[in-house]
């Protein structure tokens, strides 16, 4: 599932392409993508037609577009969802810059990269009017500079675990902005249970440390709990734990305050590095609004590297199950708790 860096890459693209744009019409090709919409497809079309999008906002892995009537278009990408923007005058993302950065040989992580991850990225944007797995299309009211065929936003979703719905906004409990992309202290009702993420300036990290240390659960399980801190999935949990020298099975109650703070700092730092190159794309499913893949897969130090040498000490990485999720770790750098 896309995690914070991947979803933030999508959010920034939506903000660039869609802020101030008006939805002229809506086509629903598969109503299963609207299963969270009260009133179904007809209500979804009614609520969106003629609405202007004023901001693109993200909290953790959750994404929404503010609408000019005070509601929000909430989007969840699920396992394979893509929001692809076509035909606008906003220009493309920094995919070319990512390519130049990724082609450099600087850094130990790049020199140790998996050859499969070093392949050039592919673009999944299709120029056909009906791409495969198209579920919903939002047609934009034309403006100068748009493509001759018009501009649109496509929800393309192979597995249909994600979806769209229009929802009301509610005030944030702490009065701080709801998420990245808008100063408004508002959240979609459906995201009200989601905690702030590690890149959110309003996150109370000391409170997160206290909650982690008050739990007997494995620390990896705690990192994946979106009610404690959002945006972290299996990839960046493994990467943060490796960077902090912490085994994922260690109970939160056995973390000292200094180690807990270090774990949060290192996990945030990994996500910031991933965000700088568009996130982690293992296949054509994880892309931004322009269909551009991220390059962080070549820098991964833990996730998916079982049986390969640790980038720090050369011990062979191992994998086991923690809390029902796979966990890749270094047996020498990340001592397993007794």
Q: Which residues carry out catalysis?
A: 2-3, 61, 325
Bridge partners for 163 per DSSP: 76
Q: Which is nearest to 77 in space by CA: 2, 152, 189, 158?
A: 2
Alpha-carbon distances, residue 130 vs 36, 88, 126, 284 (angstroms): 24, 17, 8, 17
Q: Which is nearest to 158 in space by CA: 303, 28, 30?
A: 30
Alpha-carbon distances, residue 33 vs 23, 27, 40, 47, 244 (angstroms): 18, 12, 10, 16, 39
- CB-count exposure of residue 256 (10 Å: 0-12, 13-18, 19+): exposed
Bridge partners for 58 per DSSP: 63, 180
318: number of Cβ within 10 Å: 16
Structural contact between residues 239 and 267, judged by C-beta atoms closer than 8 angstroms: yes
Q: Any long-range contacts for 29-34 (C-beta under 8 Å, 24+ apart)?
A: 29/134, 29/135, 29/136, 29/137, 30/135, 30/136, 30/160, 32/135, 32/160, 32/163, 33/135, 33/136, 33/155, 33/157, 33/160, 33/162, 33/163, 33/164, 34/136, 34/163, 34/164, 34/165
57: number of Cβ within 10 Å: 28
Structural contact between residues 302 and 275, judged by C-beta atoms closer than 8 angstroms: no
Find how far residue 59's CA is from the centre of its chain. 9
């Amino acid at each position: 599932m896309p995690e914070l860096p991947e979803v933030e890459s999508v959010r920034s693209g939506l903000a660039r392409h869609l802020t101030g744009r008006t939805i002229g019409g809506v086509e629903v090709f598969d109503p299963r993508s609207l299963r969270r919409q009260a009133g179904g497809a007809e209500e979804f079309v009614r609520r969106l037609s003629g609405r202007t999008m004023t901001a693109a906002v993200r909290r953790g892995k959750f994404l929404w577009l503010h609408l000019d009537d005070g509601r929000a278009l909430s989007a969840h990408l699920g396992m394979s969802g893509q929001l692809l923007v076509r035909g606008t005058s906003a220009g493309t993302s920094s995919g070319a810059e990512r390519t130049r950065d990724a082609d450099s040989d600087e850094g130990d992580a790049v020199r140790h990269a998996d050859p499969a991850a070093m392949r050039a990225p592919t673009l999944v944007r299709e120029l056909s009017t009906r791409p495969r797995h198209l579920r919903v299309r939002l047609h934009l009211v034309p403006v100068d500079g748009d493509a001759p065929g018009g501009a649109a936003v496509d929800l393309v979703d192979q597995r249909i675990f994600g979806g769209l719905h229009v929802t009301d906004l509610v005030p944030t409990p702490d009065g701080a902005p709801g998420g990245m992309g808008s100063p408004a202290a508002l959240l979609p009702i459906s995201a009200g249970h989601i905690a702030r993420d590690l890149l959110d300036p309003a996150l109370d990290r000391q409170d997160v440390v206290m909650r982690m240390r008050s739990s007997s659960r494995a620390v990896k399980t705690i990192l994946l709990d979106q009610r404690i801190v959002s945006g972290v999935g299996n990839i960046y949990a493994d990467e943060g734990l490796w960077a902090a020298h912490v085994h994922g099975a260690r109970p939160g109650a056995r973390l000292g305050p200094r180690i807990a703070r270090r774990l949060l700092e290192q996990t945030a730092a990994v996500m910031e590095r991933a965000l700088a190159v568009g996130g982690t794309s293992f296949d054509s499913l994880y892309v931004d609004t322009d269909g551009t893949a991220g390059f962080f897969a070549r820098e991964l130090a833990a996730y998916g590297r079982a049986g390969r040498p640790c980038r720090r000490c050369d011990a062979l990485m191992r994998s086991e199950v923690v809390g029902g999720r796979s966990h890749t770790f270094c047996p020498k750098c990340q001592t397993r708790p007794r």
